[in-house]
Structure 1
Amino acid sequence: MSKPLGYYTSYTPGEDTLLASLQEEYGATFEKMTLREKLVILTALASHMGCQLEGDCRAEIFAIAKQITEHLTISDQAGIMEAIISQIRWGQNAEPVHHS
């Protein structure tokens, strides 16, 4: 995260919120967290958000995820995460197109 937490969230300096507490404890760019710790938080958030949604996940998606982790570089994996996060954040969540 190269920009401060407030750039990505509703955090405003001077507030007494969880976001303020997180920034105070771990830095404005979470620089006091390790990469592993950031990934644990990302995993927990993704799991929590996914559980809030209705419906099932297609089996092929699990196979694709396995292929991604086995065959792509860490850099490409991070790029896919960034792309998906951007799509989730900015509403590019259309139903999948099924080609016949």
Structure 2
Amino acid sequence: MSKPIGYYTNYTPGDGSYLESLQEKYGSTLEQMTKREKLFLVSTLASHLCVAQEGETRDEIYILSVDLQAKLPASDQAGILEALVAQIRWGQNHEQQ
């Protein structure tokens, strides 16, 4: 079961923020969006955060991205996505030398 966006963000009900207007328009769990629309937002936000991050991406990671898409079913791809998001948000990340 999905949790409301306030669980994941700094949104406080009644704060008049952009997150409040987002919740009012699309629902507290963004249930008014299709799966495709949610995936689109994931990809654009990930791209934006990636560009803002210092450093380069190793060639092997580009190859890995192709392999993950070709060799894993959609359910496992979504699981890897969930694991990556948790690591980005809460985990320890290896810093490139």
Alpha-carbon offset, residue 18 of structure 1 = 0.8
Does residue 38 of structure 2 align to residue 38 of structure 1? yes
Identity of aligned residues (%): 55
Matched position secondary structure for 1:95: coil
Q: Residue 60 of structure 1 corresponds to which residue in structure 2? A: 60
Runs of 4+ in 1 over 4 A off after TM superposition: none
Q: Unaligned 5+ residue runs, structure 2?
A: none
- What are the residue-to-residue correspondences of 1:82-97 with 2, within 5 Å? 82-95=82-95
Distance in 1, matches of 2:28 and 2:73, equals 28
- Matches of 2:91 and 2:70 in 1, distance apart? 29
Partner of 2:47: 47
In structure 2, what is the Cα distance between the partners aligned to 1:56 and 1:37? 28
| Counterparts of 2:53 and 2:10, CA distance in 1 | 23
**Which stretches in structure 1 are left out of the alignment for 5+ residues?**
none
Q: Which amino acid aligns with 1:21?
A: S
Aligned length: 96
Correspondence for 1:23: 23
Aligned Cα RMSD in Å? 1.2
- TM-score after normalising by structure 1: 0.91
